[in-house]
Amino acid sequence: MVISLIFILALVVFLAVFIGHNISNVCTFWFFKTYTDLPVTILVFIAFGSGIVLSLLCVLFARLRKSDEEKEVQAAKTKVQKAEEKERKLQEKNDKKEAKIAAKEAKASKSKKAKPEDANKTLEMSAADLQNMSK
């Protein structure tokens, strides 16, 4: 804040000195060179035009820089999305493998439980148990 105030005061002092030297409507001092036939109004218009051009250049460079940063951010987002998609597909693949393994284990355990000899034994045992219960 203090630095900007000092800068503004220095600018005002420079402008006052410049205007004081050019009170006769002819510019005598500009960038350490003396001009004898250059009116101050022409110099003011030149300064105004160059200020506009430099401001536009600054705005354009800022927008280009911002668009480059946005492109980098978008590229990073797409990389993250691709990585998430790969991870999701890998997880789905692993889930399918686990489901297949679980189905095989269930099938194997059903086949062990449902052997015909075992079924006959359980029927015989239950018939023997019924006979024992009735006595």
Q: Do 27 and 40 meet the contact criterion of CB atoms below 8 Å apart?
A: yes
Q: What is the pLDDT of residue 50?
A: 92
Mean pLDDT by 10 residues, the chain (135 residues): 88 83 66 70 82 92 81 84 90 89 82 56 57 59
Q: What residues does each domain of the chain span?
A: 20-118
Q: What is the pLDDT of residue 108?
A: 79
Q: What is the pLDDT of residue 40?
A: 73
Q: Do 14 and 21 meet the contact criterion of CB atoms below 8 Å apart?
A: no
| Backbone CA torsion sign across 22, 28, 33, 35 | positive
Beta-carbon contacts of 21 under 8 Å, excluding residues fewer than 6 positions away, are 28, 29
